[in-house]
Structure 1
Amino acid sequence: MPSLQSLRSLTTFSAMPSLLCPVRTCAAPLTLEGAAWRCPQGHSFDLARSGYANLLQPQDRKSKQPGDPKEAVLARRRYLEAGHGDFLRTALLAAFDGLALPPRPAVLDVGCGEGYFLGHLAQEREIEGTGIDLSAPAVDLAARRWHGLSWFVVNADRALPFASESFDLALSLTARRNPPELHRLLRPAGRLLVTVPGEDDLIELRTAVQGEGLRRDRVGAVLDELAPFFALEARRSLRQGARLDAAPLRDLLASTYRGARSKERGRVEALTVLEVSFHLELLILRKLPPPGGGGLPDPGPGGEVWPSGGVLRYSP
């Protein structure tokens, strides 16, 4: 049974009519009945005790437990709650205040993780917030920590279970981007905030882990990826240095270099302190009219949008 805290958030869920059934070929509207989301075709998705709903379908899973494991999620929460994400949180708040958004805008955080950034935004500004992530442990943690927001386990690489033009603002801070879907979900005056690691981001940690710290400019590739659907309005370079001791270094490694080899992991675990550079490029983009003046492919939750923008439709 859902907890009392999650039941208190049902009014927020009930006010979100844009949620669609993720079952193949369905895409009917979902409504909250009791402690479950249900569609007219009889598909049902129960709320977890913490208040989130898992909308993953079999085709959304590439492993038994997709997304970040619980250990990585907890490490990232410890790291962020220690204040190491404050510089980005402050920059996001400033960017939000500079946007001409309607009162109480609908905000979608794609790849929300444990909900740190969306949760703090909702704490400081009036928004209707929705967070999605592939990791059930991350979304569970978000729902437990940040009440009054909507949280769903979803594979953001596929068509997202929301009606077109449901959101005023989308955040893509750590997740892979699906430009056609982000474009579809945003309203005509919608905005997209994206963060891209800068050339110097974590270069000291990368050198310690990999033995070298390659500097790469990723912004151009990201803008090319988004170009058919979004136009760059502003770009802000965010830089900060920090002196990290052993505990936050281990948490940063666990949440950043999960594929590190034991030898590479040992290099960092041997460190007692490290001066680390943070460098992020914050991109503020506006939604463009549909390419070619026509409508975009809209597969709904019954289809999959590929990064190229093509659509794979499932057969009934």
Structure 2
Amino acid sequence: MTPADHGNDPLPPRVVEALRCSVCGSPFDAAGRTLRCENRHSFDLARQGYVNLLHARIPAGTADTAPMVAARADFLASGAYDVLAGELARACAAAEGLVIDAGAGTGYYLARVLEASEASGLALDVSAAALRRAARAHPRLGAAVWNLWEPWPVGDGVASVVLNVFAPRNGPEFHRVLRPDGLLVVAAPGPDHLRELGDLVLAVDERKEERLAGTLGEYFARTGRTEVRRTVELTPRQIRQAVEMGPAAFHLDRGGRRERLAALADSQRVTVSFTVSTYRRTG
């Protein structure tokens, strides 16, 4: 089965069971490619296989754009972050039932987790452009457009794992949707991530670890932390993609970034650095 094939499938049954109507909060029934609740609110799957449960437009600069998504898909396909994907799959090795990826993007990391387990996956992201790809990333993956800062259209205690990779962290919702024995896995960039690229990328917040603890400390206890660090050689094309897929993409016209990217001619040794932390629910 090709990625394009399973993008045309209905949502996986476990995903349908977990989702809730974003109008009234009722469970859904699936009729072909339509989700319908008992109050007759209905949502159709897009042609690419995802469902949009939002009711409002997203402000500009919030969701990843189609060019950002294309850059990310090509960069990840090059294998530059395979070491992170492998560590996430290892951390989630005991996944069963449902894995929710909060801020899933193209579904790259969630697909790797599903390949290593028998679980199904729900990709949540505010970018429809990203979820067009996520919906096709794995046959047991379903994708729904949603703003992670809002209460999620997801039932209580439905997930064995919540995955969060470089994405907004909504501690109360992580806690609510996880089973009592569920696992939260959070990946964040290290302080020296892509440091050789200078101001072509946005600097990593030096207080990120402190902010992470503050965001999750009321709801979770950390059970493990792994540092993943490598030096890789990136081609000029990969360097452009690394810049164009991240937050710096919204600021390419500042500081001559666009012109400097266009002038790149040589490969460069670059540090890729991540932390992968695991948490269990408290309270």
* TM-score relative to the length of structure 2: 0.90
1:69 maps to amino acid = T
Aligned residue runs from structure 1 range 52-131, under 5 A? 52-58=50-56, 61-63=58-60, 67-97=63-93, 99=94, 104-131=96-123
2:237 corresponds to 1:239:
no
Question: Equivalent residue for 2:21?
Answer: 21
For structure 1, list consecutive stretches of 5 or more residues without a partner in the other structure.
Answer: 290-316
Question: Equivalent residue for 1:195?
Answer: 187
2:172 corresponds to 1:180:
yes
Against the structure 1 CA distance between its residues 225 and 242, is the aligned structure 2 distance closer, same or farther, given a 3 Å change threshold? Answer: same
Which residue, 43, 47, 50 being the options, matches 2:48? 50
1:277 maps to amino acid = T
Greater C-alpha Rg = 1
Question: Equivalent residue for 1:260?
Answer: 251
Question: Equivalent residue for 1:311?
Answer: none
Against the structure 1 CA distance between its residues 145 and 107, is the aligned structure 2 distance closer, same or farther, given a 3 Å change threshold? Answer: closer
2:258 corresponds to 1:250:
no
Q: Deviations over 1:41-67 (max 9, x none)?
A: 121100112221111112x6324x961
**1-side partners of 2:88 and 2:134: how far apart?**
18
**2-side partners of 1:85 and 1:9: how far apart?**
30
The SS at the match of 1:168 is strand
Which residue, 197, 211, 218 being the options, matches 1:228? 218
2:47 maps to amino acid = R
The SS at the match of 1:144 is coil
1:267 maps to amino acid = R
Contact 1:9/1:147, CA 8 A, preserved across alignment: no
Question: Equivalent residue for 1:312?
Answer: none
CA shift, 1:279, in A, is: 0.9
CA shift, 1:85, in A, is: 1.5
2:58 maps to amino acid = R
Against the structure 1 CA distance between its residues 181 and 150, is the aligned structure 2 distance closer, same or farther, given a 3 Å change threshold? Answer: same
Which residue, 267, 270, 276 being the options, matches 1:276? 270
Q: Deviations over 1:226-282 (max 9, x none)?
A: 100000101111101111111111111110221234212322332222221111111
**2-side partners of 1:236 and 1:182: how far apart?**
20
1:258 maps to amino acid = A
CA shift, 1:105, in A, is: 3.1
Aligned residue runs from structure 1 range 133-212, under 5 A? 133-205=125-197, 207-209=198-200
The SS at the match of 1:38 is strand
1:275 maps to amino acid = R
Contact 1:122/1:129, CA 8 A, preserved across alignment: yes
**1-side partners of 2:177 and 2:204: how far apart?**
36
For structure 2, list consecutive stretches of 5 or more residues without a partner in the other structure.
Answer: none
Backbone CA RMSD of aligned residues: 2.2
Contact 1:219/1:281, CA 8 A, preserved across alignment: no
Q: Deviations over 1:96-147 (max 9, x none)?
A: 23x5x5xx33100011111101112212321111111100011011113322
Against the structure 1 CA distance between its residues 6 and 247, is the aligned structure 2 distance closer, same or farther, given a 3 Å change threshold? Answer: closer
The SS at the match of 1:31 is strand
Against the structure 1 CA distance between its residues 226 and 56, is the aligned structure 2 distance closer, same or farther, given a 3 Å change threshold? Answer: same
2:249 maps to amino acid = R
Identity over the aligned pairs, expressed in percent? 30
Runs of 4+ in 1 over 4 A off after TM superposition: 212-215
Contact 1:170/1:191, CA 8 A, preserved across alignment: yes
Contact 1:9/1:149, CA 8 A, preserved across alignment: no
Contact 1:199/1:217, CA 8 A, preserved across alignment: no
What is the number of equivalent residue pairs in this alignment? 276
Against the structure 1 CA distance between its residues 214 and 111, is the aligned structure 2 distance closer, same or farther, given a 3 Å change threshold? Answer: closer
